[in-house]
Amino acid sequence: MDELYISYFVEGRIKKKDHISPDYFMGEYYLDATENIQEKIQELCIEGGLRWVFYTQKAAAFGYILWNWEEISEKGEIKFKGKSVLDSKSREIFNCSTDILTHQMEEATKWYYDSNDILLLTFNYNSQNKMTHAYDKQDTWGLDGGWPMDKEELIIVDERIGAFPWDQHPYFHSAVPFLPETDRI
């Protein structure tokens, strides 16, 4: 076994993920409004002796949920912080790391899926919310599946394909807003 990923759902919503490999275990836990994060840190990190990422719901709109996350060490210390957005299928469409002290975004990623739920593009953004590059994940644009494109190159190569008309997807123009402002991204 190289790696194993197990996702647990409660009433159709993601609750927990286990990332298991021969060298490590990493868990992700999505807290609901009735759960106390300090109690879960005590139970899973300190008593369990494992590193976990805890998600607390911040906001929701149009079927998308914005979560704040904290990666906690086995000693109960915050290692990293950030934000994540999941769609109605529990797929991550946005993630960013934030500075632990200032809470300012450091870097971000957004993911675009086509109507068949296939990941087509990954977008990376810098701390100023500007897109640095996009990756063609399925070789849709004939760029060998992982070649980074800037905005202008994506617009040019998509003119002949039409899989991602730039002007129809403003959610991906910048890292902000984190949470989509319409039901179509």
Domain ranges of the chain: 1-97, 104-176
pLDDT per position as a tens digit, 6-23: 999 999 999 999 999 988
Cα angle 32, 38, 40 (rounded to 5 degrees) comes to 60
Q: What is the DSSP letter of 47?
A: I
Residue pointed to by tokens 């300012």 = 104
Looking at residue 143, its amino acid is: L
pLDDT bin (cut points 50, 70, 90) of residue 145 is: low
Determine the Cα–Cα distance for residues 65 and 82; give it in Å rounded to an integer: 14
Mean pLDDT of 67-93: 97
Mean pLDDT of 139-152: 80
pLDDT per position as a tens digit, 77-87: 999 999 999 99
Residue pointed to by tokens 């990190």 = 45
Whether the model pTM is above 0.75: yes
The answer, yes or no, to whether the previous bond of 177 is cis (omega within 30 of 0) is yes
Nearest to 70 by CA among 51, 90, 93: 51
pLDDT score, position 14: 94
Q: How far is CA 177 from CA 6, 62, 104, 110, 129, in A?
A: 30, 14, 14, 11, 9
